[in-house]
Amino acid sequence: MEKVKGDSGKRIADMIKKAMDDHQITTTEYEKIMMIADEDGVIDAQERRQLAELQNMIDNGTIKRVAD
């Protein structure tokens, strides 16, 4: 089954929104986001922005990384 272009960006955005709502992200959720971004072998500009935004929120404490 071929992925629809932009589908990975939507799935990443949904997972980041959940992390923002929870104020935390588990190791498994973080790894899943990374796998989604890399599943087509290319991290496009939208995915790069989303990953940078997530990392920024982790760095500034908006979202905390927690163990599963």
The pLDDT of residue 1: 40
Within a domain: 2: no
Within a domain: 1: no
Within a domain: 60: yes
The pLDDT of residue 15: 97
**Once rounded to an integer, what is the mean pLDDT over residues 53-61?**
98
Residues making up the chain, counted from first to last: 68
Number of structural domains in the chain = 1
pTM for the whole thing?
Answer: 0.86
**Once rounded to an integer, what is the mean pLDDT over residues 11-37?**
97
Within a domain: 25: yes
The pLDDT of residue 5: 55
Q: Compute the CA torsion angle 34, 35, 38, 44 (nearest 10 deg).
A: -50
Task: Please give the residue range of the domain that contains residue 58.
Answer: 7-66
- With bands split at pLDDT 50, 70 and 90, how would you rate the model's confidence at 4? low
57-58-64 Cα angle (round to 5):
115
Q: Quick check: helix, strand or coil at residue 23? A: coil
